[in-house]
Amino acid sequence: MNTPSWRPDERPRERLLAHGADSLSDAELLAIFLRTGTTGMPVMTMARTLINRFGSLRA
């Protein structure tokens, strides 16, 4: 998740710590829970795919 090309203020985990959960999208929160992606699918892509498929973090 902490891709070297991301600035620290763009990284979900750092934003969570600095600004709280309300500052993150459902996909960013899910990516934090998932921690890593799979071969060929970064964690943010996986999180967005799951949110799109199920409709929300709660679902």
Contact residues for 47 (Cβ-Cβ < 8 A; gap 6+): 27, 28, 30, 31, 34
Half-sphere exposure of 19 (CA within 13 A, CB side): 13
- Please report the pLDDT score of residue 4 as a whole number: 55
Q: Which of 53-56's residues contact partners 24+ apart within 8 Å by CB, and which partners?
A: 56/26
Domain ranges of the chain: 8-54
Distance CA 10, CA 59 (A): 26
- Please report the pLDDT score of residue 1 as a whole number: 46
Q: Could you tell me the mean pLDDT of each successive run of 10 residues in the chain, 59 residues long? A: 64 87 91 90 93 90
- Please report the pLDDT score of residue 59 as a whole number: 80
Is the pTM of the predicted complex or chain greater than 0.85?
no
